[in-house]
Amino acid sequence: MKNANPTSRVDNLSSEPVSPPDFQNLGGNADSDPNPLKRWASSMFMRRMSNINLRDKQRRNAEKARKKKGRPHEIHYFHEMDDGYSLLAVQVLEQFHSKYDIKLVCHIARRESSDNVPEPNLLSKLSLSDGKLIAPHFNLLFPDTETTPEPELVKQSQKIAIDMAKTHRFSDLAGLTTAVISNNHEQIKILDQQSPDTNPEEIERQLSKSNRLRQELGHYSGAMFYYGGEWYWGIDRLYHLETRLIELGATSDGSDKLLCPRPDIVMGPARASGDLKLRFFPSLRSPYTSIIYDKTVELARETGVQLEITPVLPMVMRGVPATTNKGRYIMSDTAREAKSLNINWGRKVYDPIGDPVRNCYALYPWAKRLGKGEKLLREFLQSAFFEAINTNSESGLKKVVERAGLDWTQAKSRLYLDEWQPTIEKNRLEMYALGCWGVPSYELSDSQGNSLIATWGQDRLWIISRIIQDYLETASST
């Protein structure tokens, strides 16, 4: 294919007016317009939760306490029968249990319905499409289905699953979960007949006990591993837990080979010539966006893919609830992910929620017209998440603007314009139409506008990079 420089389209102005809704400020942990004291307190919380040095100290203390009590390396795993990510995780449980010198306790839990899971129906659908997408890359199986599991099948399976979990029959649990995800009535009926009779009240008690324990330990999702004060999500974060266990010498086979290593982001060698477009949905208050922004731009540049940046409002600024547990996990998880990407991130955060985000977006249409839109967003994220600059102050915002190569005097006159609002709302609606609601989200499409992949998460850029290479290699051979 003919080589070409990537085109970065960051002038995604709305061609059709979209009236922005009046999102409610939920207050509390989801306060989208905090006063200065609350913004400072939020920033201190974010810094503490993203402090890798503090995390390492907590790990050392946890290991010291474990040894003192003579306890094994006890790991709790929480499995949800209707969760695609749980189906992926359960397929590696047997190997995981065998490879590491651990005590593995498997809990069957129900999907939580709370502010921690604001879009449960979308999450159910995403776990199916996403699970099907990544399973082959981890040599795992996933049924070809788009239909979410029927509630009655889920309920029927929970009784069987509790017995399997108790007896460490992880391969059987994987088969049962596959049957649930596939809505395979016949298979579940057979497994039910083979399962011991259990009082319905006892099943309910066990499920409630699992959910309560998960909540007490500080989480809310399925496919979660808990060890020594930290949470690890499914096969995507298992490599963090594996690395920790290897460092502690808790392997049964003496090998440091990981079961689920993090896939690399592939930057080549094939290059596009303008026939692929990557839409990137970032948010200016997203820790995950802050660590993957530069990598996304680099991927487009190195592979010749046309990049279209379509920013959206942060979740809490569009009425999505937030909780302390969720915030704690996101910050600590981002710090781990950043370290694995060799990015020096954490401890230097100043919460940009509210007016700082609005001000940057108010400048964005002007910056785009000058070819500085991509740079403006980057400098904002760099200031807020890498340098602890208060972007709510005039001096802080001025620094962002000037680093982006823009004139501060001209910028000030544009802070009160609202031309950005219809565009940002249009972007949100288009992101939801792709089945995504969080950030960063992505859509890769061909020259005809056909969507090749739409997915959510900084931890999905690796698969986008591989689909780019697969597409270009196929195109070059035809």
**292-334 pLDDT tens trace:** 999 999 999 999 999 999 999 999 998 888 889 999 999 999 9
Kindly calculate the radius of gyration of the chain based on its CA atoms and give it in whole angstroms.
Answer: 23
> pLDDT class for 476, splitting at 50, 70, 90?
confident
d(CA 30, CA 314): 11
Q: Is residue 191 pLDDT above 60, yes or no?
A: yes
Q: Give the pLDDT score at 114.
A: 76
pLDDT tens readout for residues 342-381: 999 999 999 999 999 999 999 999 999 999 999 999 999 9
> pLDDT class for 120, splitting at 50, 70, 90?
confident
d(CA 211, CA 116): 13
pLDDT tens readout for residues 125-160: 999 999 999 999 999 999 999 999 999 999 999 999
Q: For residues 220 and 214, is the Cβ–Cβ distance under 8 A?
A: yes
Residue 35 is encoded by which pair of tokens? 């006063």
CA atoms within 13 A on the CB side of 171: 3
Mean per-residue pLDDT for 212-233? 97
d(CA 370, CA 368): 5
Q: For residues 219 and 234, is the Cβ–Cβ distance under 8 A?
A: no
pLDDT tens readout for residues 413-438: 999 999 999 999 999 999 999 999 99
Q: Give the pLDDT score at 27.
A: 60
> Does the global pTM surpass 0.75?
yes
Q: Which residues pair with 231 in a beta bridge?
A: 226
Q: Give the pLDDT score at 409.
A: 97
